[in-house]
């Protein structure tokens, strides 16, 4: 396994991050998420591969994902070796203050996550989405207090407009607050809008980039068809993916990917993931797996080398997309 630092920090993470949205059974996505018994083998295999970086959120399966991650760390590894990234913002209860990025919600959310994870601190605490109702000054001060209290080591953010992220970084810097060290955007061969502004900003500012959905929720692994479904439980029921992808242009990219993968005698997912992982701005793509062979193949993709000509052919069919995934 290769290891890289997140942005300008000294925090070293594996070149692949295991996304934990599929692990832990709750009400959300219950038709394709795995219960604790069937989730734990994925963490064991990840540790065996040298993966030390895990991304979850308090909203995943109503917190069950964090519980499973915490148990896996205790059973298969040591807390000192593992980098835990979790997120706040999503709805965690019925009350008016149980979502968003207000000081009240942040303070409640972090303590709840720490309890579920069974740890004293979170390595990377991330703002899941931009809060249009809360002044960012309030959010920034609350997050800074968490770092000062030792509950959080580093801060990150996820999908938002570049102007919002730039505004946030400016507010943090002017006030002497701890700044975001990472950005978690949607980025893959069929959604490359972040190349316009967000990725150049992150390169310029030394911000680590941890892309979500590098395989476009399975679209680039070949398990989606033009009817919007596929041969996996998630593909058959994932309405969000149908909102994100399935444009005619996307299938042109998918076809080009298949051609190059066939020429290299590789599964398309290995080529698609190798492309994302090799981008200059990218630190560690977040991969999901509900079959152990998917996890194995993701790790193997790190050894795939794409020529300049292959990269050019992969990128050539892409057409601009509307901004997606910020809500």
Residue spans of the domains in the chain: they are: 3-315
pLDDT reported for residue 225:
61
Give the residue numbers annotated as catalytic, written as ranges: 60
pLDDT reported for residue 231:
59
pLDDT reported for residue 222:
83
Query: With helix as H, strand as E and coil as C, how does the chain read?
Result: CCEEECCCCCCEEECCEEECCCECCCCCCCCCCECHHHHHHHHHHHHHHCCCEEECCCCHHHHHHHHHHHHHHHHHCCHHHCEEEEEECCCCCCCCCCCCCCHHHHHHHHHHHHHHHCCCCEEEEEECCCCCCCCHHHHHHHHHHHHHHCCEEEEEEECCCHHHHHHHHHHHHHCCCCCEEEEECECECCECHHHCCHHHHHHHHCCEECCECCCCCCHHHCCCCCCCCCCCHHHHHCHHHHHHCCCHHHHHHHHHHHHHHHHCCCCHHHHHHHHHHCCCCECCCEECCCCHHHHHHHHHHHHCCCCHHHHHHHHCCCCCCCCCCCC
Q: How far apart are CA 127 and CA 143, in angstroms?
A: 9
Phi, psi of 71 (to 5 degrees): -65, -40
- pLDDT tens series, the chain, 327 aa: 999 999 999 999 999 999 999 999 988 777 889 999 999 999 999 999 999 999 999 999 999 999 999 999 999 999 999 999 999 999 999 999 999 999 999 999 999 999 999 999 999 999 999 999 999 999 999 999 999 999 999 999 999 999 999 999 999 999 999 999 999 999 999 999 999 999 999 999 999 999 999 999 899 998 666 655 555 555 544 455 555 667 889 999 999 999 999 999 999 999 999 999 999 999 999 999 999 999 999 999 999 999 999 999 999 999 999 998 888
pLDDT reported for residue 135:
98
Q: How far apart are CA 243 and CA 252, in angstroms?
A: 18
Question: How many other CB atoms are found less than 10 A from the CB of residue 103?
Answer: 15
**Topology of the domain comprising 3-315:** TIM Barrel (3.20.20)
């Amino acid at each position: 396994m290769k290891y890289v630092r997140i942005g300008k920090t000294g925090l070293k993470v594996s070149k692949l991050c295991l996304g934990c949205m599929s692990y832990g059974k709750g009400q959300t996505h219950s038709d394709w998420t795995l219960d604790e018994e069937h989730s734990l083998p994925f963490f064991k295999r990840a540790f065996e591969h040298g993966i030390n970086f895990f991304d979850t959120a308090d909203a995943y399966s109503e917190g069950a994902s964090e519980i499973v991650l915490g148990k896996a760390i205790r059973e298969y590894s040591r807390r000192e070796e593992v980098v835990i990234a979790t997120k706040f913002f999503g709805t965690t209860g019925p009350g008016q203050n149980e979502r968003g990025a207000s000081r009240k919600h942040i303070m409640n959310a972090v303590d709840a996550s720490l309890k579920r994870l069974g740890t004293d601190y979170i390595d990377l605490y991330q703002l899941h989405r931009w809060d249009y109702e809360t002044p960012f000054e309030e959010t920034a001060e609350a997050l800074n207090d968490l770092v000062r209290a030792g509950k959080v080591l580093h801060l990150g953010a996820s999908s938002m407009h570049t102007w919002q992220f730039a505004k946030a970084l400016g507010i943090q810097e002017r006030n002497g607050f701890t700044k975001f060290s990472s950005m978690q955007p949607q980025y893959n061969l069929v959604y490359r809008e972040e190349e316009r502004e967000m990725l150049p900003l992150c390169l310029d500012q030394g911000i680590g980039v941890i892309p979500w959905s590098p395989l476009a929720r399975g679209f680039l692994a070949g398990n989606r068809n033009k009817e919007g479904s596929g041969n996996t439980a998630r593909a058959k029921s994932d309405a969000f993916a149908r909102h994100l992808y399935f444009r005619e242009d996307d299938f042109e990219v998918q076809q080009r990917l298949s051609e190059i993968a066939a020429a290299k005698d590789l599964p398309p997912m290995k080529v698609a993931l190798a492309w994302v992982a090799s981008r200059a701005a990218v630190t560690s793509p977040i991969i999901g797996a509900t079959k152990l062979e998917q996890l194995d193949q993701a790790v193997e993709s790190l050894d795939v080398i794409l020529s300049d000509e292959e990269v050019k052919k992969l990128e050539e069919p892409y057409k601009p997309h509307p901004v997606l995934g910020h809500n």
